[in-house]
Amino acid sequence: MRITKAVIPAAGRGTRLAPLTTYLPKELLPVGPKPMIQYTVEMCMASGIGEFCFITSPAKSLLNDFLAGNWAPPRLPFKRPAQFYRDLSQCRTVVLTQPEPRGVAHAVLLARDFVGHDPFLCLMPDCLLFSAEPFAGQLMAGFAKYGKSIIGVLTIGADTAGCFGNVGVLETTPLDDRCFSITALSDKTDEPLRVKRGTAIYKGFGGGIYLPADYFDLMQSNASDAGGEVDDVPIHQRLAASGNLLGVLLDGDAFDAGHPLGYRAAVHFAGRLEASSAGQGDMGIS
């Protein structure tokens, strides 16, 4: 089944990246030559996504203006991406507002009418994957093979653990060389993510493709139980417990750009890519 719809939650306060997010929404912080959300949207379009639902907040009028193209330098600290807006103009775009920050699951629940009965892609715009095959395309390949809700998975070792958030450590059963059945998924904690040297863990990353009949029912139940902030971790845990959550091992260089060290690493990596590209251009290499 072809995936054509993407939900992009972008209503969070970005507290981990304060004070940078005092002046710009997290999603508009530069990573190399462009804002982090542009990478996510471009990757989705390159994978065949033609309908987007962005969930923003009343405090992010600048993000709304970016998505609509209602800005010009120097209002934002990068060049206006003409090709990006030409491509986005060919897509159906819906922007919804989460009135107050009540968690990722509550934000995505607002997109239920947009999603309808179609399997949908949901990606966090601060989770960046630099890869030959786009993040969304890698998820789509796993979904096409197994037809179940599926999330991105990274292998994390001791050297990079400090650059990622601490939620979503996985227990898995292999299905093939890249896909897993996820049997358990860890809660959020106040402790940083740690991995014993010489070992590695599997960790969920960035979002996934979901079947709405399962996912939104669990969201609604979780929202009723929680009352306040509604996170998506319990939803993934319930999907895993029922045998309805898979993972695909991602190929590429991944960064949790919502984490201070992850953002710094992503900026450094994107800067090296930009410098390498510019150097090749100077040598006449395309």
Give me the pLDDT at residue 280, please. 65
Is 184 within 8 Å of 168 (Cβ atoms)? no
Q: Is 283 helix (H, G, I), strand (E, B) or coil?
A: coil
Burial 112-130 (b: 16+ CB within 10 A, else e): eebbeeebbbbbbbbbbbb
Measured between alpha carbons, how far is 114 from 53 in angstroms, rounded to an integer? 7
Distances (CA, A) of 161 to 26, 237, 252: 21, 22, 16
pLDDT for residue 281 is more than 80: no
Tell me: the pLDDT tens digits for 101-154? 888 999 999 999 999 999 999 999 999 999 999 999 999 999 999 999 999 999
Domain spans of the chain, in order of start: 5-229+238-282
Given this model, what pLDDT does residue 150 score?
98
Q: What's the average model confidence in pLDDT over 68-82?
A: 94
pLDDT of residue 93 exceeding 50, the answer is yes
Q: Which fold has domain 5-229+238-282?
A: Spore Coat Polysaccharide Biosynthesis Protein SpsA; Chain A (3.90.550)
Which alpha helices (DSSP H) does 77-151 contain, by range? 82-88, 104-109, 112-115, 135-146
CB 88 within 8 A of CB 54: no
Model pTM score: 0.93
pLDDT, residue 222, reads: 64
Q: Is the pLDDT score of 226 beyond 60?
A: no
Orientation angle between helical segments 212-226 and 233-241, nearest 10 degrees: 130
pLDDT digits (tens, 9 = 90+) for 12-59: 999 999 999 998 999 999 999 999 999 999 999 999 999 999 999 999
